[in-house]
């Protein structure tokens, strides 16, 4: 009785792992070439926003940070 439960559990685990592998490969196949990176843009996504990107704005907090970081 105990041996048959173990065999059932092993078979169930193998079937579940196989199903997960099939599902994973089908998802990758559905995406097509999205996992490959083209050389023309080096992975950088170019947008069409007209907003100016501000990375740094001079403030007292930044000045204090730069003084202590040196």
Maximum CA extent, the chain: 75
Place of tokens 């007292």: 60
- Least confident range from 2-11, 28-37, 55-64: namely 28-37
**Residue 25: HSE in the Cβ half-sphere, 13 Å Cα cutoff:** 5
Read off the pLDDT of residues 23-48 as tens digits, 9 standing for 90 and up: 666 555 555 555 555 667 777 888 88
Summarize the confidence of residues 51-62 as an average pLDDT: 88
CA 64 to chain CA centroid, nearest Å? 36
Domain boundaries, the chain: 1-33
CA 55 to chain CA centroid, nearest Å? 25
């Amino acid at each position: 009785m105990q041996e048959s439960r173990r065999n059932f559990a092993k078979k169930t685990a193998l079937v579940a792992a196989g199903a997960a592998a099939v599902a994973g490969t089908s998802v990758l196949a559905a995406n097509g070439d999205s996992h490959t990176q083209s050389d023309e843009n080096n992975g950088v996504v170019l947008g069409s926003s007209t907003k100016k990107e501000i990375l740094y704005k001079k403030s007292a907090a930044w000045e204090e940070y730069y003084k202590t970081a040196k």
